[in-house]
Amino acid sequence: MNRARNVPARDVLELALPLEDPGHFDPLLDHIGEARYVLIGEASHGTSEYYVWRAELTKRLITERGFSIVGVEGDWPDCARIDRWTRGHGDGSARDVLHDFARWPTWMWANQEVASFMGWLREHNRDHAPADQVGFYGLDVYSLWDSLRAIVDYLDVHDAEAARTARRAWSCFEPYAEDPQQYAWATRIVPTSCEEEVVALLTRLQQQVGVVGDDAEARFHAEQNAAVAAGAERYYRTMVRGGADSWNIRDTHMTDTLDRIVAHHGPGSKAVVWEHNTHIGDARATDMSRAGMVNVGQLVRDRHGDDGVVLVGAGSHSGTVIAGREWGLPFEVMQVPPALPGSLEDLLHRVGLENNLLVFPGDARSWLEQRLGHRAIGVVYRPEFERPGQYVPTVLGERYDAFLYFDRTTALRPLEPEEPQLEAEQETRPFGT
């Protein structure tokens, strides 16, 4: 990571714009233009500034550029409840609805920063007809059992015969006590799985014609829950074998889900995506590609480059963050040490940046083409052991189209304490994240 020491400060400073209020996003909105996809990253899931400024940018994209989709690194059933609330269905506050997030880490979505945005979104949607409201959707693949429950509930009302197919899928998973790791290890030891059952369920829903009492929105959610069940089964079965396959299944699933949502909203719809930098930033500009990994940013660029795709990364030099020291343990507020010498964050700190927006020119040169270590903090973090493996080698000008930098950041503000979840399912993670 020593290359950063050779970058002239003036080369960095000439791109750095102030970021002190939402109006300072004007140059980025000009760069976005008519793009239909804006993916906004974060260097950790536990940093307040990433959530706050991502929300402020999203508000401007909604109100000024007509974006109608917010897709996030969350589970479909949990986010569906939030979506309904933001569209005016149900009482209570955003905090009340966010308390329903039960899968570790609950603080990733059940926090004050997200609650504030959801309150704003409900007010925004209140002033618009249903067809013009903004939807909030979970793109992730983890909600196997919750998605199966939602499908059974839907089919019990709409299609009794298809409900029997759903129950066959449920009964296949039943011996594993809603423990995805138990299911995954069982399929590794014994060459049997529930793949056939969930694929049959997905096929049945996709082929199903309209039924009495059905509506397009309910049907869409049922089909997506079936897609989650199929994707989750494949993900967990692959995860225990190691390698890049499970990561690629997950990111491909999230991209496929985004495509289905955009198609559901109709021609010309525009989507914002909120995920970690490791999903948002183009994998080809990192060492992830050498490991055979693809990610959402890469796939969206490949599929929708003609429609306009803008990838926005984020990072910081030091401060505080919330994370768990082990999978399933309650969060702690941790000190983030100063970035390692020679890293991207160290470079931006040394030249004197504080809160800044960097928008990259189309013909990026000089330091934007250098491969620099770029810190990635996961939901599990031990700052005392921070090492070069915590930094993803990155060509910044190729990984993102713009970057949000905060020199010193503060921890996310959860809504309530978190109980240990020692059986929490793990995810495939690149490098030290």
Q: What is the DSSP string of 268-281?
A: T--EEEE--HHHHS
Are β-strands 309-323 and 332-336 bridged in parallel, bridged antiparallel, or unpaired?
antiparallel
Give the residue ranges of the chain where pLDDT is below 50.
212, 432
Give the residue extent of every domain in the chain.
2-69+277-409, 144-256
| pTM for this entry | 0.93
Query: Which pLDDT score, from 0 to 100, does residue 429 have?
Result: 61
Query: Which pLDDT score, from 0 to 100, does residue 212 have?
Result: 46
Query: Which pLDDT score, from 0 to 100, does residue 343 have?
Result: 96
| Cross-strand pairs, 18 | 356
Q: Which residue has the tokens 């002033």?
A: 127
Spatial distance between the Cα atoms of 190 and 182, rounded to a whole number of angstroms: 12
209-226: pLDDT as tens digits: 555 455 788 889 988 998
Q: Which residue has the tokens 């983030």?
A: 336
Other CB atoms within a 10 A radius of the CB of residue 382 amount to: 13
- Helix or strand or coil: residue 260? helix
- Which CATH code is given to the segment(s) 2-69+277-409? 3.40.1660.10
- Judge contact between 318 and 377, C-beta under 8 A: no
With a CB cutoff of 8 Å and minimum separation 6, the contacts of 301 are 282, 309, 311
